[in-house]
Amino acid sequence: MPLFSSRTAKRPRIVPALDDAVLARVLRQLSKRGGESRALDIALVSSVLEETGDDWDLRNHRVSVLAEATAGTGISSAWVDREPDSADALVFHSRVALARGLHERHLRDVRQVVEDCRRASELSPADPLPWVTLLGVARIERYAQADVNAIWREATGRDRWHREAYVQMLAYLSPEEGGSSAAVLDFIDVVRAHIPANAPCAPIELTAAVRQYQGLLAQGGVRAMTAGQLWDTGQLAAALEQAAALWPKPGFFQHAALLADLNMLAYALCAAGRAADAHPVFQALQNTVTPWPWNAEGDPVQVFEQYRAKAERGRQGGVGTP
């Protein structure tokens, strides 16, 4: 977890690995190698996934980041060709296909991705990742709700508070992807009462709120002008208050994507006109930027810096800065 410091000498930057030093080292090695030896590339990816064991949260983080970083390199295809009975290879191959599919808005070979997930689950029945990947497939292919619910039960039955499972389900239900605002609200209402405050998926309520807020801004006109009122609703205001008080505390959260959720919290607090309360969150981030949610308003690093400056001014003035 990040150490707290008021120093901001280094410029903020996007860090895909977040605070996973092992993953960051592997990403650097893969970048420097430039595909010189496929066998060594595969060994690097294989080893960093193998060492996660049954830490499903860390495993998902590393698979997701590596899939995005290597989607155009052919590493996943070469690995699964060499080791067709490796659960890690199959999980990674399917996640690379999903990463590419989400960018392209379609899957090049749906049947292959589904088969990779099915086979991976057979080889490693306890692993939720094949089922989480299938939730992503359901988003692109717009599976029927009953089918998605069945996949959801498989994923969360293996890891009840799996952060990525909740993120994928939220995206499937969202109006931007063919769902509806009502479906999102129903989902949040159902899960809110059961999720522990420090579970990896606990930020899902604020994640949904930020998505809704940005959707209102994107519509322009009156909806954009009144978007800030979203944060004044009782339940959401309480959730934001609790998050501001608890999330930045060292040790409160332990999940691998904590810094991504702190980025989202800092953005939400500033959007709600509570920039002063975002100051300790920016301190905890120590210049680590994630593309979302900042990229909805321009270059993510620049927007991050602008909001952080607002938080600093708000702290000095003792009040939030809209």
Q: Could you give phi then psi for residue 13, rounded to 5 degrees?
A: -150, 155
Tens digits of residue pLDDT in 126-184: 999 999 999 999 999 999 999 999 999 999 999 999 999 999 999 999 999 999 999 99
* Residue range 3-10: mean pLDDT, rounded: 47
**Domain coordinates of the chain in residue numbers?**
19-160
pLDDT of residue 36: 63
- Residue 231's CB: how many other CB atoms inside 10 A? 18
Secondary structure element (H or E) that encloses residue 240, with its range: helix 234-246
How many Cα atoms within 13 Å fall on the side-chain side of residue 288?
A: 25
**pTM (two decimals):** 0.93
CA 259 – CA 88 distance, rounded (Å): 25
Residue 67: the pLDDT is 97
pLDDT at 239: 95
Question: Given this model, what pLDDT does residue 10 score?
Answer: 78
Contact 210, 269 (CB under 8 A): no
- Evaluate if residue 34 carries a pLDDT over 80: no
Banded model confidence at residue 270, pLDDT cuts 50, 70, 90: very high
Condensed to tens digits (0 to 9), the pLDDT of residues 83-125 reads 999 999 999 999 999 999 999 999 999 999 999 999 999 999 9
C-beta of residue 173 within 8 angstroms of C-beta of residue 180: yes
In CATH, the number for domain 19-160 is 1.25.40
